[in-house]
């Protein structure tokens, strides 16, 4: 019997696959469908205090090796989103609430509401590469990161994960700030800051000009970040970025990730990518005589 169950802090997952924030997670219906298709847990769309429309189109474009998007954190606001979380919980799913804000007070308020709605854990979005005043702008300030993590941790009783960017000049010092704030885990990485230009219009294609790149092309960047963090610190890490196959997931796990999130991969392999990846992991393990996935975490170090 092959065991692919894993833990992130106190969160127990029956397999290592989790839906990444921002893809098919605006409604309870789509999150429940992802859980039925084999994901051990889902992360919600990043939710803020107030409803936000996001940027005008074009907001997303498929490129040769990945997807470029600048959605602008569109979301219905924390109050409106309550029903979606309650519905997923009613179905018995594990749900991680992703939140964004620009001050510790905003994060605390969102975290407390998410906890009261019943989420199993929180993911602090400190890394959206294209939202002015949020995300990476917050996530590259060491002091602010530590304060946000620390104050959220003091306000809730569920595990708190912090999601970081690969666009940091010094990933180690931000990881340290997150650890000093007593986070239960680090999620690495968000999309990578990028741009594409339309030759005929001679202008950037996205309305926001700059966006975040996801999918296959960013896997080596994410793997490098997970490796760097786990080489230096012993905090649990969730790997994300460019995972399309079981082999991709195993690469993150060998780099030190205890679980993985999958977003763009759904576009390439369908909503049942979670089941497919679990099967591929099991086949690889069987072929290589591994019985427990935990024996593979961090073996590349």
Ligand X SMILES: Cc1cc2nc3c(=O)[nH]c(=O)nc-3n(C[C@H](O)[C@H](O)[C@H](O)COP(=O)(O)O)c2cc1C
The catalytic residues are: 128
- Smallest separation (angstroms) from ligand X to the CB of 292: 25
- Smallest separation (angstroms) from ligand X to the CB of 1: 29
- Distance of alpha carbon 193 from its chain centroid, rounded? 16
- Smallest separation (angstroms) from ligand X to the CB of 188: 9
Residues 239, 242, 246, 298: which binds ligand X (CB under 6 A)?
242
CB 52 within 8 A of CB 59: no
If binding is defined by CB under 6 A, does position 39 make contact with ligand X? no
- Counting residues that bind ligand X (by CB under 6 A) gives 28
Per CB under 6 A, which region of 50-58, 86-94, 223-231, 238-246 contacts ligand X?
238-246
CB 17 within 8 A of CB 274: yes
Decide: helix, strand or coil at residue 28: helix
The pair of structure tokens assigned to 162 is 């912090």
Helices (H), the chain: 28-36, 78-90, 104-117, 136-139, 142-155, 171-180, 219-232, 246-255, 265-269, 273-287
Angstrom distance (rounded) from CA 47 to CA 51: 9
If binding is defined by CB under 6 A, does position 257 make contact with ligand X? no
Residues 15, 21, 167, 258: which binds ligand X (CB under 6 A)?
21
Binding-residue pattern over the window 67 to 106 for ligand X, x denoting contact by CB under 6 A: x-x-x-x------------------------x--------
- Distance of alpha carbon 217 from its chain centroid, rounded? 17
Q: Which residues here bind ligand X, judged by CB under 6 A?
A: 20-23, 45-46, 60, 67, 69, 71, 73, 98, 125, 128, 163, 190-191, 214-215, 218, 240-243, 262-265
């Amino acid at each position: 019997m092959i065991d692919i169950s894993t833990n992130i802090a106190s969160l127990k997952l029956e397999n290592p696959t989790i839906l990444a924030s921002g893809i098919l997670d605006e409604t309870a219906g789509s999150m429940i469908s992802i859980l039925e298709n084999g994901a051990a847990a889902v992360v919600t769309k990043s939710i803020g205090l107030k409803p936000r429309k996001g940027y005008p189109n074009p907001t997303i474009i498929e490129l040769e090796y990945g997807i470029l998007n600048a959605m602008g954190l569109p979301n219905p606001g924390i109050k409106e989103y309550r029903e979606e979380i309650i519905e997923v919980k009613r179905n018995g799913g594990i749900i991680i609430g992703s939140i964004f804000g620009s001050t510790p007070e905003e994060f605390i308020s969102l975290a407390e509401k998410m906890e009261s709605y019943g989420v199993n854990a929180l993911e602090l979005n400190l890394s959206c590469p294209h939202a002015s005043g949020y995300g990476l702008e917050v996530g590259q300030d060491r002091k602010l990161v530590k304060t946000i993590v620390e104050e959220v941790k003091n306000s809730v009783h569920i595990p708190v994960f912090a999601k970081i960017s690969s666009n940091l000049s010094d990933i180690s010092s931000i990881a340290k700030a997150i650890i000093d704030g007593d986070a239960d885990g680090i999620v690495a990485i968000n999309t990578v800051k990028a741009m594409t230009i339309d030759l005929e219009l001679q202008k950037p294609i996205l309305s926001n000009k700059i966006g975040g790149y996801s999918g296959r092309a960013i896997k080596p960047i994410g793997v490098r970040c997970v490796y760097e963090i786990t080489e230096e610190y012993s905090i649990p890490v969730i790997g994300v970025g460019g995972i399309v196959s079981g082999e991709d997931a195993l690469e993150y796990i060998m780099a030190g990730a205890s679980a993985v999130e999958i977003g763009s991969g759904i576009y390439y392999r369908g909503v049942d990518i979670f089941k497919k990846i679990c099967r591929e992991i099991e086949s690889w393990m069987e072929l290589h005589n591994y019985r427990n996935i935990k024996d593979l975490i961090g073996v590349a170090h």
